[in-house]
Amino acid sequence: MRVPFLAIGFLAVATSPPAVAQTSPPPATPAGIPLDAPWKESVFKFATEKLQHSAWGVSHSERDYLMASRLAAESKLEIDTDVLFAAAFLHDVGAFDAFRKEGVDHTDRAAELVPDILNGAGFPAAKVSAVQDAVRNHMYYRADAGRPESIVLHDADTLDFLGTIGIARILSLTTRHRWATDLATAAKTLEGFNTDLPPRLMTSAAKKLALARVAESRAILESLKAETEDGKAR
């Protein structure tokens, strides 16, 4: 039987699958961290506009977030990624001249500043205290971290002082502003980090990573010493 052309067209339309709406992926940081909530875009904008620095700026925050996420996964720790994101990008705000307070450790100063920044961004109010805990305890010399986000941020931030990236960060401070130092002092600081920081790590995953980073750092520092006569340029 011959089917009229119009009938064929009708059948084709009737049996076609429904069109699927195309959705764009959320914006992301340069390292690929999704900015999948308006408050994340606001916090990241704040960081990129006000917290740029070669040693503890936005790139450092991205590394801390990604490493802390990795440590949480390897340590089987359940973390709140909202808390970790906010803490990673704001933990050093108290170290910047526009926000620092004389006589107040930058970790404590950051904890003071976080509520206003996050409330203005629309961050969930019930999670602000957890962010404060993480930023207050992120440095290697703090050992009071209790929440899982605080533990992994503490270890991630400590690891960022080790290895090649640790060397790059500390050397970037030489002759700069109030953090001014020289090459020999920077090398001595790094040698101290290689000895003093690994025992302060809290997770087994971070301690394992530290072994490789310390070996890497020591090899580079030995070359630096050989080529610059104990850090003093020839």
Looking up residue 46, the CATH number of its domain turns out to be: 1.10.3210.10
Asked if 133 contacts 147 with a C-beta cutoff of 8 angstroms, the reply is yes
Query: Quick one: 140 and 55 in the same domain?
Result: yes
Confidence (pLDDT) at 185: 87
Residue 203 has a pLDDT of 97
The confidence score (pLDDT) of residue 12 equals 42
pLDDT of residue 50: 96
Report the SS3 class of residue 28: strand
Q: How does pLDDT run across 201-217, given as a tens digit for each residue?
A: 999 999 999 999 999 99
- Rounded to a whole number, what is the largest CA-CA distance in the chain? 97
Place of tokens 């020289």: 182
Note whether 69 and 75 are within 8 A (CB): no
Q: Are residues 143 and 42 in the same domain?
A: yes
Residue 192 resides in a domain: yes
Say whether both 134 and 184 belong to one domain: no
Looking at residue 13, its pLDDT comes to 45
Q: How far apart are CA 28 and CA 39, in angstroms?
A: 13
List the pLDDT tens digit at each of the 234 positions of the chain.
444 434 434 344 445 556 555 678 899 999 999 999 999 999 999 999 999 988 888 999 999 999 999 999 999 999 999 999 999 999 999 999 999 999 999 999 999 999 999 999 999 999 999 999 999 999 999 988 789 999 999 999 999 999 999 999 999 888 765 555 788 888 999 999 999 999 999 999 999 999 999 999 999 999 988 887 655 555
- The last residue of one of the domains, among 119, 150, 181, is 150
Query: For residue 232, what pLDDT is reported?
Result: 56
Q: Is residue 8 part of a domain?
A: no
Position 29 in a domain: no
Domain final position from 102, 128, 150: 150
- Judge if 193 and 230 occupy the same domain: yes
The total domain count for the chain is: 2
Whole-number Å distance between alpha carbons of 61 and 43: 12
User: In the prediction, which pLDDT does 98 show?
Assistant: 95
- Domain range for 81 is 35-150
Q: Are residues 89 and 165 in the same domain?
A: no
Do the domain assignments include residue 203? yes
The verdict on 144 and 39 lying in the same domain is yes
Write down the pTM of the prediction: 0.86
198 HSE (CA, 13 A, CB side): 19
